[in-house]
Amino acid sequence: MKLFIDIGGTHLRSEIVSEEGIIRDTISSHEMGLLAYIDKQMALHPKIDFIGISYAGQVNNGIITASPNINIDQYDIVGTIKARYGIRSCIDNDLNCAVRAEASYWRSGSIATLFVGTGIGAAVIDEGRLVRGSRNMAFEIGHIPYRESPLHCGCGRNNCIELYASGSGMAKWLKHYGSAHLPDLERLKESTSDEHSVAIQFEEALLHAAGVLVTVANPEMLVLGGGVIEQNPYLVTLLREKLKEYALAPALEGVRIEMSVLENAPLAGAKLLEDDHG
Ligand SMILES: [Zn+2]
């Protein structure tokens, strides 16, 4: 019996997979910490013998190092699970998980993912290998400097691209303008000038992020996903039409841009962690 978890800034989704079938669960990410959730599942299902976790934050060698959008109840998650239950677990950044699942689905060894939900994140597989960087933070695109703002990012700074090109960023701008609207892009564009500007600056920042990603990673394929993209599928068309204004032309040449068709790519990627030693 195996437990797979995808924890993002909004939801924690899990699947317990065994010969008897799959048990699915979804709770708010703020309802309980990751370790508390694992303790609960281990008490309910003591036969769990492997845990794979997709985590919306920075993770290195099984240890959570930072998470702007999730409250952390234990940093050394893999070590604690081993000490408490004697079982193996793996944890990786959610985009690193997603890109594994997308590479497998699209059968591509040269692929970048850009997902926009509560936050914005990216990951890259090049020549069939995940690009990790020295501390597993390669392509952590949400916190590259973009523009100064009157707002504060979860990481503490005021100029991250996540403040513009993410669901939480849009929500902060709408609150700043006193708007009660949800970040529904097409509705925002038809609304007051402040709300319109939040939607337009989101589109520009998303194009900027995608342009940087394609220029520096030079993938064969760019796959878009995450809640905000799924709710606004026109963004994929926007990127196909306008990315040439934001990416270096030779890097963009021949790049295929697709929307993720997986139901939950980070969770699908968590299932690939068990065999992953790279
Ligand atoms: Zn930041």
| pLDDT tens readout for residues 199-233 | 999 999 999 999 999 999 999 999 999 999 999 99
- Can you tell me the distance from the alpha carbon of 37 to that of 199, in angstroms, rounded to the nearest whole number? 35
How remote is the CA of residue 144 from the centroid of ligand 1, in Å? 7
Q: Which residues surround ligand 1, an ion (CB under 5 A)?
A: 143, 153, 155, 160
Distance from Cα 266 to the centre of ligand 1, integer Å: 21
Distance from Cα 42 to the centre of ligand 1, integer Å: 34
- d(CA 164, ligand 1 centre) in Å: 11
Q: What b/e sequence results for 194-225 when a residue is b if at least 16 CB atoms lie within 10 Å of its CB, and e otherwise?
A: ebeebbebbbbbbbbbbbbbbbbbbbebbbbb
> Which residue in 82, 175, 165 sits closest to 120, CA to CA?
165
Identity of the residue numbered 64: I
Q: What is the pLDDT along the chain (278 residues), one digit of tens a residue?
A: 999 999 998 899 999 999 999 999 999 999 999 999 999 999 999 999 999 999 999 999 999 999 878 889 999 999 999 999 999 999 999 999 999 999 999 999 999 999 999 899 999 999 999 999 999 999 999 999 999 999 999 889 999 999 999 999 999 999 998 887 776 788 888 888 888 889 999 999 999 999 999 999 999 999 999 999 999 999 999 999 999 999 999 999 999 999 999 999 999 999 999 887 54
Distance 232 CA to ligand 1 centre (A): 23
d(CA 248, CA 150): 30
- Asked if 86 and 47 count as a contact pair (C-beta separation under 8 A), the reply is no
Q: Any idea what the Cα angle at residue 85 is, between residues 82 and 90, rounded to 5°?
A: 45
- CA contacts within 13 A on the Cβ side of 2: 17
Q: How far is the CA of 66 from the centre of ligand 1 (A)?
A: 11
Ligand 1 center from residue 168 Cα (angstroms):
11
Q: How far is the CA of 272 from the centre of ligand 1 (A)?
A: 28
67 CA from centroid of ligand 1 (Å): 10
Tokens of 128: 């069939």
Q: How far apart are CA 207 and CA 240, in angstroms?
A: 10
Question: What is the average pLDDT score of the chain?
Answer: 94
Distance 69 CA to ligand 1 centre (A): 10
Give the Å distance between the CA of 217 and the centre of ligand 1: 21
Cα of 45 from ligand 1 centre, angstroms: 37
Judge whether 238 and 177 are in contact, CB under 8 Å: no
Q: How far, in Å, is the centroid of ligand 1 from the Cα of 163?
A: 7
CA of 156 to the centre of ligand 1 (A): 6
